[in-house]
Structure 1
């Protein structure tokens, strides 16, 4: 009730604008995920706040119809994990490798 989530949602607005290379990367990921319409580029830093019940595939990507996960969708933006202790331990462990290496590899 102190406004943490509201403050977190405002973070992208105080971050510096996307550089041309970053803009292209963010737009490509959004396009692959089907979140970018009409061939437009996005100029906003992403803000992703997945629910604590999100699956491992939803967080890091994959699934039957492979698509980027929340980690990839938050590239050059903010991945906000509200209620962090409520996330499944396996899901948090799956985030360790992308955070350490900066790469998200799906096999």
Structure 2
């Protein structure tokens, strides 16, 4: 499974967006999580998980992009491009931290 993350804002709060490609399921996923440094009340609430919308086509990168737009969350283009490439090349065991104003950091490349 690949995992691409970025710290950003959602509804005025700092969150972490995590998206990636699940190789065994051949699906993409998207989560918006309360940031670890945020107050406990934010951590207890998962603002969004693609698991809650199985009716969407999670094999299409446009679904990830459209959902982020629907939520009003901006992410770097590098995140969506990387998730798409992971799916295209069936990449797994990759963890990359993306940033809004600097190049991505590869944390694990397997």
TM-score tier (shorter): under 0.3
Higher relative contact order (CA 8 A, sep 6+): 2
Q: Report the TM-score when normalising by structure 2.
A: 0.24
If you compute each CA radius of gyration, which structure gives the higher value, 1 or 2? 1
Greater share of residues in helix: 1
Greater share of residues in strand: 2
